Amino acid sequence: MILGLSRRDDGARLERIEASFQRMFIDDRHAFDLAMSALIGGANPQTVGEDIRTTDERVNAAEREIRRELVIHASVRGGFDTPEILVYMSIVKDVERIGDYAKNLYDIAADGVVLDGGELMEEMLELRTRISSMVSEVAEVFHDREGARARELFREGDALQDDFDARVSDLVTGRIGEPYAVAYALTYRYLKRIVAHLMNVLSAVVMPLDRLDYFDADPEDRPDVGIPKDEQ
């Protein structure tokens, strides 16, 4: 666990902050599931669009709520633990961005694209299920501060991002001749960004403050973040 990121007795404020984070994760997963249902599940984009927008508004409101609570926490405590505040401020943006990329996925469907066939379809269905579950798993790991599980998810996240890059290369070079090659490439890119932001949240469980947010970079471009390369 990183320095300072722990629950201490501060009335109910830190618990409210933690609860707000968990609501954001729940809404992120809901928005992701809705977007993917329109993109590959046959749902009518017009039917789910309003729900996605409303969910995104809740995520944004929760982000503002967390920031307000952190400012009050800092003011009330006086001698507050600075790293804890900075960590929360950093990762709340990652959680918010997951919802933004869910909206990007929805936008593809709203343009009239339905990825309902081709050689990548089975893989895409599996990714929908896996990444949806991963949002909830990261929420649990963050809530429980489980370093071992965080490292397991780091390894899986890196493997997923490598696969996404490979698929984009296949699509843009014509090695895979999907009729919606551009849409598939964008989908893989947005899925990669969702996974990257989830990994940044996980970094708060096991990394010191100065090494947060590096897990949206390629492994070879990261600084020494304390996880051996064969574990990333």
Domains of the chain: 13-231 (1.20.58.220)
Question: Is residue 122 within 8 Å of 55, Cβ to Cβ?
Answer: no
**For residues 78 and 68, what is the distance between their CA atoms, to the nearest angstrom?**
16
The pLDDT tens digits of the residues spanning 160-214 come to: 999 999 999 999 999 988 889 999 999 999 999 999 999 999 988 887 665 666 5
Q: What percent of the chain has pLDDT over 90?
A: 62
Are 48 and 54 in contact by the 8 Å Cβ rule? The answer is: no
Instruction: For the beta carbon of residue 55, count every other beta carbon within 10 angstroms.
Output: 22
Find tokens 């969702």 and name the residue.
194
pLDDT bucket at 70, cuts 50 / 70 / 90: confident
pLDDT digits (tens, 9 = 90+) for 24-43: 999 999 999 999 999 998 89
